[in-house]
Amino acid sequence: MPPNTTAPTGQQPGKSGRKKGRKARLIVLVLVLAVVGGVAGGAYWSISTVRASFPQTKGSITLDGLSGPVDVKRDGHGIPQIYASSDEDLFMAQGYVQAQDRFYEMDVRRHMTSGRLSEMFGKDQVDNDEFLRTLGWDRVAKEEYDTKLSAATKKYLQAYAKGVNAYLKGKEGEDISLEYAALGFTNDYKPQQWTPVDSVSWLKAMAWDLRGNMQDEIDRSLMTSRLGPQQIAELYPQYPYSRNQVIVQQGQYDELTQTFDGGDDADVSSTDGTTDGTGTAGGTASSALQSQLSGLYEVLEDVPTAVGVNGNGIGSNSWVIDGEHTITGKPLLANDPHLSASLPSVWYQMGLHCRTVSDKCQYDVSGYTFAGMPGVIIGHNQDISWGMTNSGADVTDLYLEKLTGDGYLYDGKVKPFDSREETIKVAGGTSKKIVVRETNNGPLLSDRDDELVKVGKKATVDTAAPDRGDGYGIALRWTALEPGTSMDAVFALNKAADWDDFRAAAALFDVPSQNLVYADTQDNIGYTLPGKIPTRAQGHDGSIPAPGWDAKYDWTGYIDQDELPYEYNPERGYIVTANQAVVDKDYPYTLTTDWAYGARSQRIADLIESKIKGGGKVSTEDMRQMQLDNSSEIAKLLVPQLLKIDVGDKDVREAQKLLEGWDYTQDADSAAAAYFNSVWRNVLKLAFGHKLPKELRVKGQCLWVEPVDTTGPVDEERRVRECGARDADQAQPDGGDRWFEVVRSLMDDEDSDWWKTPASLTRPGADNRDDLFKRALIDARWELTAKLGKDIDTWSWGRLHRLFLKNQTLGANGPGFLQYALNRGPWKLSGGEATVNASGWNAAGGYGVVWVPSMRMVVNLDDLDKSKWINLTGASGHAYSDHYTDQTDKWSKGELLDWSFSKQAVAESTSDTLVLKP
């Protein structure tokens, strides 16, 4: 029980929203835990034990440290709106309330960011902790807090931590969360006090999963073991500028003509990705690099997912339309960030309201927060709204380092490592000490795998690289490993009143680099690209690892904020950002070589144009419908050709006929969508997947392949058996819009070597495009027969394309009874890869959903109370709370909830009120 309560702890037992199914699960949980508890030493878990951690949402609680009373009003979905009279009280209450609902999630996150997961989960997490300690997120966060953040931001972080700790006061683990009670069976872990640095560290985790093209950098280099430079270039085509619009079309970048003249001293990067064909710029040691990167991937793939699928496939949609084209006469703004599915959702909906906005209390803001961090990340205040998508700006570079003795080679001299010792505490085990070494380019990631060190010592090198000596290592240069001001940016955005305030706030948002869209109640719309984006020397564009021993591959600075692109009130009346290219080819700096290819962004733009042509007006409901658009751009390209293929087998022909008259939409109940996506998957597998190196293919899938770089017919006598090494949701070809462009570029080259594939024991080979399409049609028919049955009338996309929500700790790796208790699903989803309704799946690995629109919102700047929002799961992190997944059914159907903002609207939607008293 929390101290000084004047009402019973917990939700009301008889609350009408409780469902019979939840009761049944609770009874099963209690029975199972009672048995396990008996085995573990006689403990018995009752229903009251499960409910003990549910938050108090009515009555009052006394909290030391408040200067005045704070009202916490929750609606029928448990979403809190907080009312206070000072900034410090507001953020202290935010910390208390988020801890009520999500402290276990917050605790796991801070242990991840600080490399201390082993303290909670034991020796299985030591490797992860070693890697995260090497990155040093918490060390950078502390430096950020100590040296970079404003006094006001520190005050808010301290208030937030005070609120979290007020919640923790007097509680044992089982009073906080069911997961702690489960952990109690295996170790004596006790939650510790929250600190301001714990909040700042979470920004590093967010930046890690939105870090740009690091995975592409690794993949391109790994491809060199089997493919030549031209073949790799064909798998990474240029952005289709002539077909898919960039974000900034009528914008500007201040003073650029004054600071950039293209002369000899111009500090810009080459955009041609020039290399010598060995896999790194400048003739680096090819085989050493490939081996190092292969080992590096093995380390990376086990790092816990923070807000995405370890950097792969992460996109997002946002767009804004000005009042001239809306039915309200004021802007509408939509946003749906695409992240990996987690339970609970990474987002926490919340309103933070000063009863009276003044110098003492400056905030009246509502939106999506991160549990564990004060402020609102995406949302609106009384004057403006903003949304975010990942810009994809390249803010990471990998460097191959020449190791020698106690140092590394740089410009012909040996420099000493910057080293530190870290101690990793292990629950139920012995602590482990590691040494972290850093070069001038950053931490040596390769130190985290003994095999990488051995490979670096033994790998062959070419004449352009230095002698092997003690071997080679891989270092990471990343903007987020330098202290910054992103936490300042959150609070500045939250109270921005106009475009100038918004731009000034955005300039503080140094990492991760995000596309920020804007709208205000005065009918202005805009876009800005903030972020700390490096410039590189001539000849190095960041697309591939660089030789760390050569100073000409160093970063040379950062693009000045005034020179980054923005756009304000464009004539077309709307702005779309969906991870496409930000600017056209004339922009003189290289932001990245790895944009998304614009399938989603162009579809959104086309939908807007089709609505407004002829004077049509866009409504909030139109915006919601656009978010749910399932149209497959690759199907529009392939289906006409697939229907021309003559297939003799009547069963295959029956499936092929599903594509006749199909409108290319991927609804959950569509048999045509199921069959097409299976055909697409098999096209990719046959044309590309079987020709990629094992490091990119799905783990456990074995092929007989030629050992070196050919995509043509296989010489039977040279074939060797190779098994894939990558997790299914990370493998290639993943089927995203890059692969759309690859296939599009090959469609007219019917005899390309990519279309050639050998026969198998049961399937014919292919000598050209149509041969391969025919085989894909056949293989897809029999794959779906095995998965869905022979009767195509029973087929549906949703039966293949399912979402399972898993608790990211004990629900993913714990014993079966805990997985049953903590996880939910499946849901049959519409949508697909690179569609606006982006329920992503990896074509190399299967059809299951791997990332989703993690939330959806539509903000109405004419009447903020008519805005709409939804979360992937619910407000609560407590497995048997009414609000654990109470939004998921609506989310899966594309529905949105009413989003109350004004005092009157909040009052009308309030179900429970809790008063926090000083």
Whose structure tokens read 């025919």?
A: 774
DSSP string for residues in 83-94: EESSHHHHHHHH
71 CB-near residues (< 8 Å, 6+ apart): 82, 83, 84, 913, 914, 915, 916
Contact between 118 and 125 under an 8 Å Cβ cutoff? The reply is: yes
pLDDT of residue 392: 87
pLDDT of residue 206: 80
Contact between 686 and 776 under an 8 Å Cβ cutoff? The reply is: yes
Instruction: Identify the residue with better confidence: 178 or 44.
Output: 178
Does residue 698 register a pLDDT over 70?
yes
pLDDT band for position 301 (50/70/90)? low
Least confident range of 329-338, 339-348, 634-643: 339-348
DSSP lists the bridge partners of residue 452 as none
Mean pLDDT of 518-545: 90
Q: Exposed/middle/buried for 848, CB within 10 Å: 0-12, 13-18, 19+?
A: middle
pLDDT of residue 256: 41
Q: How far apart are CA 453 and CA 468, in angstroms?
A: 12
Does residue 320 register a pLDDT over 80?
yes
Q: How far apart are CA 143 and CA 113, in angstroms?
A: 14
Residue 486 CA, chain-centre distance (Å), reads: 18
Contact between 394 and 582 under an 8 Å Cβ cutoff? The reply is: no
Least confident range of 412-416, 464-468, 490-494, 663-667: 464-468
pLDDT of residue 896: 98
657 CB-near residues (< 8 Å, 6+ apart): none
Going by C-alpha positions, the residue among 402, 474, 415 that lies closest to residue 443 is 474
Note the residue count of the chain: 918
pLDDT of residue 160: 98
DSSP 689: G
Mean pLDDT of 313-331: 91
pLDDT of residue 315: 76
Token pair belonging to 861? 């700047």
pLDDT band for position 253 (50/70/90)? low
pLDDT band for position 37 (50/70/90)? very low
Contact between 830 and 837 under an 8 Å Cβ cutoff? The reply is: yes
Strand bridging mode 80-84 / 347-354 = parallel
Q: Exposed/middle/buried for 692, CB within 10 Å: 0-12, 13-18, 19+?
A: buried
pLDDT of residue 255: 43
pLDDT band for position 766 (50/70/90)? very high
For 206-220, write each residue's pLDDT tens digit: 887 676 677 887 788
Per-residue buried b or exposed e for 433-463, using 16+ beta carbons within 10 Å of the residue's own CB: ebebbbbbbbbbbbbbbeebbebbeebebee
pLDDT band for position 297 (50/70/90)? low
Contact between 405 and 395 under an 8 Å Cβ cutoff? The reply is: no
For 383-395, write each residue's pLDDT tens digit: 999 999 999 898 9
Question: Which percentage of the chain shows pLDDT scores above 70?
Answer: 84
Going by C-alpha positions, the residue among 743, 704, 734 that lies closest to residue 722 is 704
DSSP lists the bridge partners of residue 348 as 369
For 586-632, write each residue's pLDDT tens digit: 899 989 888 999 999 999 999 999 999 988 999 999 999 999 999 99
Tell me the three state secondary structure of residue 803. strand
Mean pLDDT of 222-230: 88
Contact between 660 and 644 under an 8 Å Cβ cutoff? The reply is: no
DSSP string for residues in 337-379: EEEE--BS-SEEEEEEEESS-SSS---EEEEEEETTS-S-SEE
Q: How far apart are CA 522 and CA 322, in angstroms?
A: 10
Mean pLDDT of 505-510: 95
For 182-203, write each residue's pLDDT tens digit: 888 778 899 999 999 999 998 8
Q: Work out the angle between the directed axes of helices 87-113 and 137-147 (0-180°, nearest 10).
A: 150
For 671-734, where are the alpha helices, taking DSSP H only? 671-687
DSSP lists the bridge partners of residue 81 as 73, 351
Mean pLDDT of 730-739: 93
DSSP lists the bridge partners of residue 404 as 407
Compute φ and ψ for 629, nearest 5 degrees.
Answer: -65, 125
Contact between 219 and 696 under an 8 Å Cβ cutoff? The reply is: yes
Contact between 834 and 633 under an 8 Å Cβ cutoff? The reply is: yes
Does residue 348 register a pLDDT over 70?
yes
Tell me the three state secondary structure of residue 826. strand
Q: How far apart are CA 554 and CA 410, in angstroms?
A: 11
Whose structure tokens read 């733009």?
A: 605
Does residue 44 register a pLDDT over 70?
no
Whose structure tokens read 């200067």?
A: 67
pLDDT of residue 1: 36
Instruction: Identify the residue with better confidence: 26 or 341.
Output: 341
DSSP 458: H
Least confident range of 56-60, 287-291, 798-802: 287-291
pLDDT band for position 406 (50/70/90)? confident
Contact between 219 and 290 under an 8 Å Cβ cutoff? The reply is: no
Amino acid residing at 287: S
Q: How far apart are CA 699 and CA 688, in angstroms?
A: 16
Cα→Cα distances 779→159, 403, 413, 444, 744, Å: 60, 49, 58, 44, 21
Question: Which percentage of the chain shows pLDDT scores above 90?
Answer: 66
Mean pLDDT of 622-649: 97
Cα→Cα distances 126→123, 129, 191, 201, Å: 5, 5, 19, 19
Q: How far apart are CA 73 and CA 84, in angstroms?
A: 12
Mean of per-residue pLDDT scores for the chain? 86
Contact between 494 and 152 under an 8 Å Cβ cutoff? The reply is: no
pLDDT of residue 535: 93
Query: Would the CA dihedral through 540, 546, 552, 557 be positive or negative?
Result: positive
Compute φ and ψ for 738, nearest 5 degrees.
Answer: -65, -40
Strands (E) across 444-492 are located at 472-478
Least confident range of 367-371, 735-739, 760-764, 774-778: 760-764
Amino acid residing at 452: L
pLDDT of residue 329: 97
Token pair belonging to 186? 């295996």
Q: How far apart are CA 780 and CA 785, in angstroms?
A: 8
200 CB-near residues (< 8 Å, 6+ apart): 141, 142, 144, 145, 149, 157, 487
pLDDT band for position 371 (50/70/90)? very high
For 778-831, write each residue's pLDDT tens digit: 999 999 999 999 999 999 999 999 999 998 888 777 778 788 889 999 999 999
pLDDT of residue 782: 96
Whose structure tokens read 């301001």?
A: 196
Question: Considering just the CA atoms, what is the radius of gyration of the chain in Å?
Answer: 27
Neighbouring C-beta atoms of residue 585, cutoff 10 Å? 10
Amino acid residing at 549: W
Whose structure tokens read 């794959």?
A: 783
Contact between 48 and 34 under an 8 Å Cβ cutoff? The reply is: no
Does residue 410 register a pLDDT over 50?
yes
Going by C-alpha positions, the residue among 594, 632, 573, 665 that lies closest to residue 319 is 573
Strand bridging mode 418-424 / 413-416 = unpaired
Does residue 53 register a pLDDT over 50?
yes
Contact between 91 and 365 under an 8 Å Cβ cutoff? The reply is: no
Going by C-alpha positions, the residue among 372, 344, 350 that lies closest to residue 879 is 344
